[in-house]
Structure 1
Amino acid sequence: MLNKPMRPALAPACSFSDEEREAVYRAINERRDVRDQFLPTPLPDDVLMRLLQAAHQAPSVGFMQPWNFIVVRDANKREQAWKAFSKANDEAANMFEGERKATYQTLKLEGIRKAPVNLIVTCDRSRGGKVVLGRTHNKQMDLYSTVCAVQNLWLAARAEGIGVGWVSIFKDDDMRALFNIPDEIEIIAYLCIGYVDELYTQPELAAKGWRQRLELKDLIFEEEWNRQSN
Structure 2
Amino acid sequence: MVSFDETFRRQLHELFVWRRDVRRFRHDPLPSGAMEWLIEIACLSPSVGLSQPWRFIIIEDKARRSAVVEDFKTCNADALHSYSSERGAQYTTLKLAGLEEAPGHLAVFADKASDLGHGLGRATMPETIEYSVAAAICCMWLAARAEGIGLGWVSILNPDRIYEILEVPESWKFIGYLCVGYPQLEFDRPELERANWEHRRTSKEFTIRR
- Shorter-chain TM-score bucket reads over 0.9
- Counterpart pick for 1:59 among 31, 38, 46: 46
- Report what 2:100 is aligned to: 113
Q: Does 1:40 align with 2:27?
A: yes
Structure 1 pair 215/130, CA: closer, same or farther in 2 (3 Å)? closer
1:9-58 CA-partner distances (Å, limit 9, x unpaired): xxx1x4312222222211111111111x2111111233222211111111
Q: Using the alignment, how far apart are the partners of 1:50 and 1:20 within structure 2? A: 22
User: Which TM-score applies when normalising by structure 2?
Assistant: 0.95
2:19–2:141 Cα contact (<8 Å) kept: yes
Distance across 2 between alignment mates of 1:46 and 1:121: 18
TM-score (norm 1): 0.87
Count of equivalent residues? 210
Are the equivalent residues in 2 in contact too, given 1:167–1:192 (CA < 8 A)? yes
Task: Structure 1 unaligned segments of length 5 or more: list them.
Answer: 1-11, 225-230
One-letter code of the match for 1:31?
R
Deviation per CA, 1:67-98, whole angstroms, max 9, x where unpaired?
Answer: 11100123332221100111011000100112
Structure 2: stretches of 5+ with no match in the other structure? none
Match of 2:86 in 1: 99
Name the amino acid aligned to 1:177: E
Equivalence for 2:12: 24
Secondary structure in 2 matching 1:133: coil
> Larger C-alpha radius of gyration, 1 or 2?
1
AA aligned to 1:156 is A
Q: Which has the higher contact order (CA 8 A, sep 6+)?
A: 2
Residue 122, structure 1, aligned to residue 109, structure 2: yes
Measure, in 2, the Cα distance between the counterparts of 1:82 and 1:63. 34
Which 4+ residue blocks in structure 1 deviate beyond 3 angstroms? none
Is 1:219 the counterpart of 2:197? The answer is: no
Shift of 1:209: 0.5
Shift of 1:131: 5.2
Identity of aligned residues (%): 37
Contact 1:73 1:116 (8 Å CA) reproduced: no
